[in-house]
A and B are shown apart, each in its own frame.
Chain A
Amino acid sequence: QSALTQPASVSGSPGQSITISCTGTSSDVGGYNYVSWYQLHPGKAPKLMIYKVSNRPSGVSNRFSGSKSGNTASLTISGLQAEDEADYYCSSYTSAITGVFGTGTKVTVL
């Protein structure tokens, strides 16, 4: 159950687009379309941003989008806004019938 690999940090200016990668294996990300993404603001509960690779829950801005290719999933934030500054984690179902999270990415809006 090794954590999925994410870049430690990604930054962008307001209005720009950024992409966060999430790399796993064929036993998790590559094997199932059950990749989800979570936003963490300090002192708040995690918030589901994307589920089943590319689906947005009701209420989540359409500036957030997800995709997957092979063993790597990606979260793209377009039209970056100050409120998007937070930590982001990917998660996947695994072949061991467990969950696994990514190492986390800190998004900074310059």
Chain B
Amino acid sequence: DTGVSQDPRHKITKRGQNVTFRCDPISEHNRLYWYRQTLGQGPEFLTYFQNEAQLEKSRLLSDRFSAERPKGSFSTLEIQRTEQGDSAMYLCASTLGRDGYTFGSGTRLTVV
């Protein structure tokens, strides 16, 4: 297992377009998290899955954001009608629970 994979690494999109990111966690990890990080800040929690169930969603997440984890394996994060304020690094992490989280390399989104 090579760790947490995120795709794409970079995405440039025009304002108003929809984008979708993918995260493949470490296979035996049942917990998966999405975070967002803007320049000069620490990551902010977006949402959390335990297996296929989305158990928590941050109030930061507007209705334009949706995440899924079908079959409890990979996860997707979709942003509809992107805005310039959505430009950030989107990070995925997986863990078995209390252990150190393993982060992917992130998807850097630029909305122009």
Q: Do A and B bind each other?
A: no
Interface residues, chain B, CB within 8 Å of chain A?
A: none
A residues contacting B by CB (< 8 A) are: none
